[in-house]
Amino acid sequence: MGSAETALSLTLTNRQASDFELIANGGFAPLDGFMGADDWRSVCEDMKLASGDEIWPIPITLATDLECAEGDVVELQAANGKALGRLHVSEVFERDLELESRQVYRTTDREHPGVAAIHDERSRCVAGRIEADALPDHDEAFMRRYQTTAESKQAFADRGWKRIVAFQTRNPIHRAHEYLTKAALEICDGLYIHPLIGETKKGDIPADVRMRCYEILMDNYYHPDHVMLGVNPGKMHYAGPREAVLHAIIRRNYGCTHFIVGRDHAGVGDYYGTYDAQLIFDELDLDKLGITPLFFEHTFWCHECEGMGSAKTCPHPKESHLFLSGTKVRELLEAGEKPPHEFSRDEVAEILIDAYKEGI
Catalytic residue IDs = 170-171
Q: E-assigned strands of the chain?
A: 8-11, 33-34, 73-77, 83-94, 124-132, 164-167, 190-193, 227-229, 258-261, 292-295, 299-302, 307-310, 321-322
d(CA 214, CA 207): 10
d(CA 58, CA 250): 12
Under DSSP, is residue 22 helix (H, G, I), strand (E, B) or coil? helix
d(CA 46, CA 245): 13
* Identity of the amino acid at 171: N
Looking from the CA of 311 toward its CB, the CA atoms found within 13 Å total 4
Closest CA to 194 of 136, 177, 202: 177
The three-point CA angle 15-20-26 to 5° equals: 125
Under DSSP, is residue 236 helix (H, G, I), strand (E, B) or coil? coil
Closest CA to 40 of 86, 111, 92: 92
CB atoms within 10 A of CB 270: 8
92-98: long-range contacts, CB 8 A cutoff, minimum separation 24? 92/68, 92/124, 92/125, 92/126, 92/127, 93/36, 93/37, 93/40, 93/124, 93/125, 93/127, 94/123, 94/124, 94/125, 95/37, 95/40, 95/59, 95/61, 95/63, 95/123, 95/125, 96/123, 97/122, 97/123
